[in-house]
């Protein structure tokens, strides 16, 4: 009877946590889908997971796909409590983002208990540190998915900041692997086609990015 009670308690803990994680389906990002609807954090994570499966066989450097998928699933879990903050936002909540997310990760670890809570907390920390091969891969996917989605979205949903991010956000996270760098170049080329079709002067945009005090610097 005691064993049955323990199993029931563990099941309830996981069920409660699923209610928490469901908030990621409700939390909206500063990205739009091809039909003009705003993207949720959960949709972002799903697309990252699919990209991990598709890109993994082509990587030059070996990465544990199973571990990378765990990192993808966990990396934004904290936003169920802390909320999503756009990359380019300048605000108090942006300044306290890491602190609030760390507390959310600790809260989730406590709610789940050992060993599951410890595993999720450790995975989240690994993603944030971005030093292991799997974490570098997951971080690259995090940046790439954003631009892939922007490329699919109506151009009217793009901001001035997002024009510049085509050239400033993806390259470094993808630079550790030749295939990721090539994929990044393809995503960037797709973005340039979209921008040119909308009348964006790419040469002028790139020139502004080269200016240390230009309107797009510091992004």
Written as tens digits, the pLDDT of the chain (219 aa) is: 666 788 999 999 999 999 999 999 999 999 999 999 999 999 999 999 999 999 999 999 999 999 999 999 999 999 999 998 887 778 888 889 999 999 999 999 999 999 999 999 999 999 999 999 999 999 999 999 999 999 999 999 999 889 999 999 999 999 999 999 999 999 999 999 999 999 999 999 999 999 875 444 332
DSSP 3-state percent helix, strand, coil across the chain (nearest 5): 70, 5, 25
Token pair, residue 198, equals: 């909308």
CB 74 within 8 A of CB 127: yes
Total Cβ atoms within 10 A of residue 25? 12
The number of helices, as runs of H, and strands, as runs of E, in the chain is 13, 2
- Which residues on adjacent β-strands are paired with residue 40? 28
Q: What pLDDT, on a 0 to 100 scale, did the predictor assign at position 90? A: 82
Find all residues with CB under 8 Å of 188, minimum gap 6, and list them: 147, 166, 167, 170
Of 27, 32, 49, nearest to 149 (Cα)? Answer: 32
Of 59, 48, 11, nearest to 141 (Cα)? Answer: 48
Q: What pLDDT, on a 0 to 100 scale, did the predictor assign at position 93? A: 85
Q: Where are the domains of the chain?
A: 2-210
CA distances from 84 to 39, 98, 118, 192 (A): 11, 11, 23, 27
Per the listing, tokens 């064993």 go with 3
Environment class of 55 (CB within 10 Å of its CB; exposed 0-12, middle 13-18, buried 19+): buried
Q: What pLDDT, on a 0 to 100 scale, did the predictor assign at position 213? A: 56
Q: How many Cα atoms occupy the beta-carbon half-sphere of 66 within 13 Å? A: 0
CB 124 within 8 A of CB 75: yes
CATH number for the domain formed by residue range(s) 2-210: 1.10.3210.10
């Amino acid at each position: 009877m005691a064993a049955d009670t323990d199993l029931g308690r563990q099941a309830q803990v996981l069920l409660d946590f699923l209610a928490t994680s469901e908030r990621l389906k409700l939390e909206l990002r500063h990205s739009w889908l091809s039909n003009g609807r705003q993207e949720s954090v959960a949709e972002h994570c799903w697309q990252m997971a699919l990209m991990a499966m598709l890109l993994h066989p082509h990587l030059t450097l070996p990465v544990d796909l199973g571990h990378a998928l765990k990192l993808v699933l966990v990396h934004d879990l904290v936003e169920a409590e802390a909320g999503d903050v756009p990359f380019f936002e300048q605000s108090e909540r942006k300044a306290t983002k890491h602190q609030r997310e760390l507390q959310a990760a600790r809260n989730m670890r406590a709610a789940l208990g050992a060993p599951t809570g410890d595993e999720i907390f450790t995975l989240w920390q690994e993603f944030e540190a971005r030093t292991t091969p799997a974490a570098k891969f997951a971080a690259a996917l995090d940046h790439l998915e954003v631009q892939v989605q922007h490329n699919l979205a109506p151009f009217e949903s793009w901001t001035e900041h997002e024009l510049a991010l085509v050239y400033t956000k993806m390259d470094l996270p993808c630079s550790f692997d030749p295939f990721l760098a090539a994929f990044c170049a393809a995503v960037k080329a797709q973005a340039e086609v979209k921008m040119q079709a909308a009348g964006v002067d790419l040469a002028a945009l790139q020139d502004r990015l080269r200016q240390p005090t230009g309107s797009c610097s510091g992004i």
